[in-house]
Amino acid sequence: MRYLALSTMASCAAMMIGTPGYGQTAAQGADAPAQGSDASPDGEVSTTGLADIVVTAQKRSQSAQKTPAAVTALSSEILVSRGLVDLAAINNVVPGARFNQEGNSMQLFLRGVGSNLDIANIEPVVNFNVNGVFIPREGTSAPLFDLESIEILPGPQGTLYGRGALGGAVNANFKRPTHELSTDAILEVGNYNLVHGTVTQNIPISDVLAVRLGGDYIYHEGYMKSGAYSKDDFAGRIGLLYEPNPDLKIYLWGQGVTKNGSPANAVNKGLDPVTGQYNESAFLNKDPWNDLRTPAQIAQAQSVPGLGGLFFQPRKDDQTYTFLSTGGQIDLRLGDGLTLSYIPSYLYLKSSERHWNGVLESQTDAKYRQVTQELRLSSDGPNLQWLAGIYAFQQRNSGFIILAPDVANLFVTNVLYNRIQGIAGFGQATYAIASGLRLTVGGRYSITGKKANGISPGDPNQTPYFFDRTFRHFDVKAGFEYDIAPRVMGYFTYQTGYQAGTYNEFPATSTQDNLVKPADLDSFTGGIKSRFLDNRLQVNVEGFYYKYTNLVLQSFDLSKVYNEIFNAKRVEIYGGQLDVTLRPTSNDMMSVSVSYAHARNKDFVTPDGSNFNGLQPPYAADWTIVGNLSHDFSLRNGYIRAAADARYESRWWADYLHNRGTEQKPSVIVNGSITYYSEGGRWDLGIWAKNLTNEAKIAAAAANGFPGPASGFLIEPRTFGGRLGLHF
């Protein structure tokens, strides 16, 4: 969005001249579909205690309360009961996160670290993985269904994840086949003619072979007046599990996704239609989701000298989207606690979508082919746990953004070929050096090569550009954990993250290189994880300090046809996260998560000499507060669960300049549900509502509005519906 906005302004200027939890896993216990005993981290059983959550954030299974990081884990039950069908919806329940959807792209930010450049030569800086496989930007908007869990891990994860994990990692894991015959079906209906169905079938072929099949379809009419912002998406999946003996496990999976809905349009923001004056919170229409213009407003836009021929009435546009991916994991137990794991994958993605930024249409195309492989050896001994591995990948992609397609075809980015390939060796070990005291060290050495070519945007001579560089880097991790008490653990960790360099879309010359330097992040975190009151109260707290160097952004200069990408030298981020979960009775659960991330520019000078020190980076709210409350009403043949959750977010800006119209004022989003669960869990029936206050909060914005000053994508309006679940 940022790239598109700035390039839009630059292109227009050129023509005039003459040519934006749940407390560290605790909420998972709140949404279990059945009541009963829960195991404590110590293996004890309590009929009213909090569940012990197992996470794989460190590429091995361990209790979340024994993981030295602020992991937020969302179980399958949470995702289904709250209707969290994609990352944009998950944004509402994760502290310190901002997941922005723009067309088929998702911009992931954790604690103020992320990237808002949706172009082919920029990789995300928050790593999104499915079954341990890195997924490129346009793949992150695929529907999420039949998942075992999603884990959100803030902070740099350079040693274990490497690529794209400078700001953190988001890990989604499919449910694997089991050796039991089972069928699960979910049907939802709601306003905007919503129809959403998910069906999964688990089939035990034999004692050693099982298959899991799944399909998901979602349809709803457009949330916008034009009919835009609709869904007509299908996803299919197959998984195979082969366990010929206790020492060998082979898991293979494949997934396909198509989208046939209409992408959201961006609406004008920041201008009062009555007074004609600047008003940060104003939209052109009383209904913010009304993306249409009056005849007078269209005439006003078309009267702009030299530009009127580009502006028209917004409409519902189409898209094509095909996403195919396959992969697996082979685990071979070698004895003496050793396990050899191999994780291969292949991915193909092709996306083409059009949407409107106010009265200006744009088209975004992207295409990917990717192969990844990871081979690692791990050991899980009583005093020493370690893993070491090799990771290799190759990605070939291309992409462009065009303004006013079919009218002027103004390219603002045009990457014809972009190849990224790399290899890395990594390792991490945790050793118990004394009773209750453990030391962790890790490292990763990576070599990344980038080779690309394209046509310089805005150049009337269509000058080609080329790029061919290799980047080498070593990430480190060091920390310790100490068991202060049986259910209280303290930890401190230093670790780094890295984003390989990239290029500007113009030819390198003797006086101006097209290199954009690599970005680095150094992180210091410390925290305490604890449980009290017979395992009913969980209190986790973490403090952090990040030094972020060479942040990759795009300049803003109306005198240039092409706005170059540059490095902001230093951004400082510090803060803390407090997560409290209380289960006072077996029928009640409440949790609150408070995240504070003070992100400010410290050495931030643009190529033209402008100084933005002291300002917040894009989409970096200081405060987010997430709360959840649920109560179970026991019945003779089941129970009813009433639940509500809310998210508060302080103000943020969508660009580093803090342009007018790109500010999101402090906001609160409230959701609720009431669900009946039958005895034995065979079926459930419920109603739900999201964004109860119908708040028109921007998901992302940029300074490209006509008449101005900005335009923004909005979150979904108030939606409500019913859900039926069947489980056999």
The arithmetic mean of pLDDT across residues 76-84, rounded, is 85
pLDDT category of residue 81 using cuts at 50, 70 and 90: confident
pLDDT-based confidence at 460, cuts 50/70/90? confident
Instruction: Give CA–CA dist 108/577, Å, rounded.
Output: 19
**What gap in Å lies between CA 257 and CA 442, rounded to an integer?**
37
DSSP, res 297: H
Pull the structure tokens for residue 513: 């290189």
pLDDT on residue 26: 38
Q: Which has more confidence, 305 or 147? A: 147
Of residues 2 and 18, the one with the higher pLDDT is 2
Strand (E) or helix (H) holding 16: helix 2-17
Mean pLDDT value across residues 72-77: 90
Question: Would the pLDDT of 41 be above 50?
Answer: no
pLDDT at 412 over 80: yes
CATH of the domain at 53: 2.40.170.20
With cut-offs at 50, 70 and 90, classify the pLDDT of residue 48.
low
**Cα within 13 Å of Cα(462), Cβ side:** 4
Q: pLDDT confidence of 563, banded at 50, 70, 90?
A: confident
Lowest mean pLDDT: which of 8-12, 142-146, 253-257, 440-444? Answer: 8-12
Q: What is the pLDDT of residue 589?
A: 95
Of 151, 256, 261, give the one whose Cα is nearest residue 214: 256
452, 29 Cβ separation under 8 angstroms: no
| Structure confidence at residue 560 as a pLDDT band (50, 70, 90) | low
454 vs 707, residue with greater confidence: 454
Give per-residue pLDDT as tens, 156-165.
Answer: 999 999 988 9
Residue 6's pLDDT band (boundaries 50, 70, 90)? very low
Query: If pLDDT is split at 50, 70 and 90, which confidence band does 558 have?
Result: low
pLDDT at 38 over 70: no
Task: Please give the full DSSP string across 245-287, using - where no structure is assigned.
Answer: ETTEEEEEEEEEEEE-S-PPPBEEEEE-TTT-SEEEEEESSSS
Alpha-carbon span 258 to 44, nearest angstrom: 46
pTM of the full structure: 0.91
pLDDT category at 314 given cuts 50, 70, 90 is: very high
Question: Per-residue pLDDT for 33 more than 60?
Answer: no
Q: Among 24-33, 114-123, 312-321, 678-687, which is the least confidently predicted range?
A: 24-33
5: pLDDT strictly greater than 90: no
- Which pLDDT score is estimated for 30? 42
What's the confidence (pLDDT) of residue 34? Answer: 37
- Split at pLDDT 50, 70, 90, the class of 32 is very low
Confidence of residue 643 (pLDDT cuts 50, 70, 90): very high
| Length, in residues, of the chain | 728
* 226-261: pLDDT as tens digits: 999 999 999 999 999 999 999 999 999 999 999 999
Min mean pLDDT across 561-565, 577-581, 710-714 is at 561-565
Check whether 406 has a pLDDT greater than 50: yes
Looking at residue 7, its pLDDT comes to: 43
Q: Which residues contact 384 (CB under 8 A, 6 or more apart)?
A: 429, 430, 431, 432
**Mean pLDDT throughout 369-397?**
97
Residue 561 has pLDDT above 80, yes or no: no
* Predicted local confidence at residue 644, as pLDDT: 95
Are the C-beta atoms of residues 576 and 29 closer than 8 Å to each other?
Answer: no
pLDDT at 305 over 50: yes
* CA dist 257 → 128, 214, 283, 349, 350 (Å): 17, 12, 34, 9, 11
- Residue 128 Rama label (left phi>0; alpha psi -120 to 50; beta): beta
| Mean pLDDT score of the chain | 91
Least confident of 2-16, 71-85, 306-320: 2-16
3-state DSSP assignment of residue 612? coil
Listed residue (458, 471, 549) closest to 504, CA to CA: 458
DSSP, residue by residue, 352-394: EEEEEETTEEEEEEEEEEEEEEEEEEEEE-SSEEEEEEEEEEE
By residue range, what is the domain housing residue 511?
Answer: 2-727
Distance separating alpha carbons of residues 414 and 433, to the nearest angstrom = 55
Alpha helices in 457-609 (DSSP H): none
Tell me how many domains the chain contains. Answer: 1
Average of per-residue pLDDT across 505-521: 94
Q: How far apart are CA 412 and CA 405, in angstroms?
A: 12
- Residue 12: is its pLDDT beyond 70? no
pLDDT score of 556: 73
Q: What is the DSSP letter of 85?
A: -
